[in-house]
Copies of this chain bind each other. A is one copy, B any other.
Amino acid sequence: MDYIPSIAIDMDETIADPISKARAWYYRDYGVAFTDDQMHGKHFGEVVPPEHKAIITQYLNTPGFFRDLDIFADAQRVIEELNKKYRVFIVSAAMEFPNSLLDKVQWLQEFFPYLTWRQYCLCGDKSVVQTDYMIDDLTRNFVHFKGKPFLYHGHHNVHAEGYERVMNWEDVANKLL
């Protein structure tokens, strides 16, 4: 049988959008909306006043926060095609927020019905995960990775260099399908 290459696909900021929701909750609680210009090159925790960093952490550990996140355009369609050609795994460093775990599984079940629980991996540190390809928005997840990484573009990683960048899921399709 031919070898089927494996691919690890990140969740937050790669297929799911927790930042829009965190921004909306922050606006609800503090009446402050940050512009895309203010977010450019930064993580959300770096944009809010230092004394509010803990608020963002609290949002992320609220049961239900990750359950109804928006999905990135074309992710469903492209991953369905990838799933025919690769051994696809959804790998999320979710352990910092234990209340997110069930939400994330249910979100995957809803938006990716063609994947099974065998294809989910929720970990603390991705250094134990080795696949042939990895798509992720955080370069720190590539440090111990031995396969081929693709950096999924986001406003927070615009200054990251040294990795092949994918701009969106259509771009992933062009490179991997």
A106 shortest CB reach to chain B, Å: 7
Residues of B within 8 A of A118 (CB): 95, 124-125
A161: min CB distance to chain B, Å = 25
Interface string of A125-169 (1 = CB under 8 A from B): 101111100000000000000000000000000000000000000
A122 on interface, CB distance cutoff 8 Å: yes
Residues of B near A131 (CB, < 8 A) are 128
Q: How large is the interface on A (under 10, 10 to 19, 20 to 34, 35 or more residues)?
A: 20 to 34
A121 close to chain B: CB less than 8 A:
yes
Interface residues as binary, A57-68 with B (CB distance below 8 Å gives 1, 0 otherwise):
000000000000
A117 within 8 A of B: yes
Interface core residue of A106, A121, A129 (most chain B CB under 10 Å): A121
Q: Are A95 and B120 within 8 A (Cβ)?
A: yes
Stretch touching chain B among A24-32, A42-50, A97-105: A97-105
Q: Is A16's CB within 8 Å of the partner chain B? A: no
Q: Provide 16 A-B residue pairs closer than 8 Å at the C-beta atoms, listed in order of the A residue.
A: A6-B127, A8-B128, A87-B127, A95-B105, A95-B122, A96-B117, A101-B101, A101-B102, A118-B124, A118-B125, A119-B124, A121-B121, A121-B122, A121-B125, A123-B123, A129-B129
